[in-house]
Amino acid sequence: MTATPIPRTLAMTAYGDLDLSIIDELPPGRKPITTLHRFDSKRLAVFQFMREEIAKGRQVYIVYPLIQESKVLDYKDLMDGYESIVRDFPLPEYQVSIVHGKMNATDKAYEMERFVSGKTQIMVATTVIEVGVDVPNASIMVIESAERFGLSQLHQLRGRVGRGASKSYCVLMTGSKLSQDAQTRIQTMVRTQDGFELAEVDLQLRGPGDLMGTQQSGMLEFVIANLKQDVSILTSVRHAVDGLLINDPKLEKESNKLLRLALNLSEQGKSIWKYIG
């Protein structure tokens, strides 16, 4: 069971390796989150919005994809971002926490406790706060260089807000130049909070990965089949296989000769997945 939209999980469900239960409502007390896309050029307006929410007694997460500046990747980094936030939200009016994966456990716990207890209004962090953090008073999640993240991570990070009585927001900050896939991810996040729909979009963008292994993404070389469009066909096939396993579990009948041959090839280590369809 997963709350995270993972393409491989969706694909395995379609193929019959997992059962499917759809929960199409929020947990008790959770409110819908308004998701906004803002370019870096609108940063000052986003900061002003943060000040207005903090003035109401709310708290803010700001998440960065990198801890320090990279010579290879042109993305916002946490250390530079932290210095910028401290300048724009100065003491004593504002208190800022910082959490990232290179901190030791004691320092990390101290900074988290300050934010959870309300001693700091802003939490500057990497994706270490992606899961297991519950601060009902936090009403804004700002994700820097949001184009850097996949749909699964964006969905998880957005889930850190919307846990209290206040209206909550997720602001996706990006550069002005976005790839087609990045545009699709951002637009999908703004449009929906449905994890199943997000998984379907992610499935189209990244592929289902390795159904016989653990790889979470990558395209399957099907000749005809389309995992999203052919769900009804896959469901029918699943029911046919269930009946086959009941009526001829050892594939001994002449009518199942070809299936037995395919199974033998598979047992010999010869991959037949790419021929499906």
pLDDT at 271 over 70: no
Please indicate, yes or no, whether residues 138 and 235 belong to a single structural domain of this protein: no
pLDDT tens, residue by residue, 171-181 = 999 999 999 99
* In-domain check, residue 203: no
For residues 55 and 109, state if they share a domain.
Answer: yes
Selection from 121, 81, 120, 119 nearest residue 100 by Cα: 81
Of the three residues 171, 193, 215, the one that is the final residue of a domain is: 193
What 3-state DSSP class applies to 42? helix
Q: Where are the alpha helices (DSSP H) in the chain?
A: 7-15, 43-55, 78-88, 105-116, 151-158, 180-191, 195-206, 231-247, 257-267
pLDDT at 145: 94
**Residue 75 scores a pLDDT above 80:** no
d(CA 125, CA 142): 10
Q: How confident is the model at residue 225 (pLDDT cuts 50, 70, 90)?
A: low
Q: Across the chain, what does the average pLDDT equal?
A: 83
State the sign of the Cα–Cα–Cα–Cα dihedral 236, 238, 241, 243: negative
Q: Are residues 59 and 163 in the same domain?
A: yes
Q: Are residues 165 and 256 in the same domain?
A: no
Q: Which pLDDT value is given to residue 123?
A: 97
Whether 1 is covered by a domain: the verdict is no
**Best-predicted range by mean pLDDT (20-24, 65-69, 72-76, 87-91):** 87-91
Q: Residue 72: which CATH number?
A: 3.40.50.300
How far apart (Å, rounded) are the C-alpha atoms in residues 160 and 170? 9
**Domain assignment present for 216:** no
Question: How many domains does one find in the chain?
Answer: 2
Structure token pair of residue 97: 């926490």
Q: Which of 145, 163, 193 is the last residue of a domain?
A: 193
Query: Does residue 27 register a pLDDT over 60?
Result: yes
- Give Cα separations from 126 to 30, 103, 227, 229, 236 (angstroms): 24, 11, 33, 36, 44
Residue 219 within a domain: no
Structural domain that includes position 241:
231-275
**Final residue before a domain boundary, out of 146, 178, 193:** 193
Q: Are residues 163 and 235 in the same domain?
A: no
Q: Which helix (H) or strand (E) holds 4?
A: none
* pLDDT band for position 130 (cuts 50, 70, 90): confident
Q: What is the mean pLDDT of residues 102-109?
A: 93
Q: Residue 237's beta-bridge partner residues?
A: none
Domain membership flag for residue 215:
no
Same domain? 130 vs 252: no
Domain assignment present for 8: no
Q: Are residues 157 and 52 in the same domain?
A: yes
**d(C-alpha 55, C-alpha 49), whole Å:** 10
Question: 18 near 12, Cβ under 8 Å?
Answer: yes
Q: Is the whole-model pTM more than 0.95?
A: no
pLDDT band at 275 (very low <50, low <70, confident <90, very high): low
Q: Could you tell me if 111 and 57 lie in one domain?
A: yes
Query: Could you tell me if residue 208 is inside a domain?
Result: no
- The verdict on 170 and 98 lying in the same domain is yes
Same-domain pairing of 62 and 126: yes
Q: In angstroms, rounded to a whole number, what is the distance separating the alpha carbons of residues 173 and 188? A: 15
| DSSP classification of residue 14 | H
Residue at 78 is within a domain: yes
Residue 195 has pLDDT above 70, yes or no: yes
Segment 235-239 shows an average pLDDT of: 78
Cβ contacts of residue 112 below 8 Å, gap of 6+?
97, 99, 133
Indicate whether 209 pLDDT > 60. Answer: no
**Position with higher pLDDT, 156 vs 25:** 156
Shared-domain flag, residues 180 and 248: no
